[in-house]
Amino acid sequence: MNFDLMRLIAALLVVVSHAFPLAGDPPLRIVGVEDLGALGVSIFFVISGYLVTASYLRDPKTYLLKRVLRIEPGLIASLVVTVVLLAFVTTAPAAEYWPAAALYVLRNALLYPVTYDLPGVFADAPMAGVVNGVLWTLRLEFTFYLVLMLIRARPAAVYGLAALCAAVWLTMRLTMPNWADETLTRVVFLAARNGLLFFAGAAILLRDWKPPLWLGAASALSFPLLGPLALPTAVLGLARPGKLPADLSYGVYIYAFPLQQWLAIQGHLSVVTSILAVTPFALASWFLVEKPALRLKPGPRPAW
């Protein structure tokens, strides 16, 4: 299973997970982590830590440009498409909607001043007012890119950050069962868990060690017991070289949430309708935006 396929599966796990709470149903819980969406995001961070570190080591000078070209073109396009399409469903007047829509695009394109709402949009949805609830992960992802660059991917620093994130995550998991109730504890918990996964992926790359297939399979089987601690060796041990003809994972990830919100207010949200709705957007994102943007990356592209 190559990384493209793994990322697509991870994105679809997020889509499947969101189909339940966005329809007003209880979330689909799994053993080892909160839900399928958390598992999908966790897989993303392991793969990202591994591949992004390889990118930095190949050419530190063009590293940040490459990261921007990977995230921003598809993100900006999705934000513009989102506000244009939601202009047809908003209950707010145009004089109120469009200034807020412009600010929505600008803030989320900048990643850090992320905002989730638009005037008169999805007010009657079970998850009221949230346009795209996955955008926080892009901010966290880019933060890890910057941290990796600041520490120059030094092995000692990467190992130390992985250990620190693991310690914080384990401590909070054991002592704060209600970590999700407060904004601060939720941010710290998710940053620590995903930081553990990102920097563990980076650490495996830096050690020039490919987990064997048997360890990948054993780690995957141990996930219900070990949770995220099992994922770095599971994901990287099961990964194999190769690429898909089209990498749809990012498009699926950034377009699915608003489409699912629209399906929810129409009363037609399900796993099947979610996948059918997001597929053409993901295809357009890859072939019209992401793939052309990737051609602008300087330097050679890795086989993986």
CA angle 94, 107, 184 (to 5 degrees): 120
Q: Given this model, what pLDDT does residue 34 score?
A: 86
Is this prediction's pTM over 0.85? yes
- Low-confidence stretches of the chain (pLDDT beneath 70): 299-304
Q: Given this model, what pLDDT does residue 121 score?
A: 96
- Work out the percent of the chain whose per-residue pLDDT is above 70: 98
Q: Given this model, what pLDDT does residue 300 score?
A: 61
Residue 110 is classified by DSSP as T
Q: Are 7 and 248 in contact (CB under 8 A)?
A: no
pLDDT in tens, 111-157: 998 899 999 999 999 999 999 999 999 999 999 999 999 999 999 99
Q: Given this model, what pLDDT does residue 302 score?
A: 59
- Dihedral over alpha carbons 246, 248, 251, 256 (to 10 degrees): 150
Cα–Cα distance, 100 to 23 (Å, whole number)? 26
Nearest to 60 by CA among 147, 144, 149, 143: 149
Domain edges within the chain: 3-294
Q: Given this model, what pLDDT does residue 22 score?
A: 96
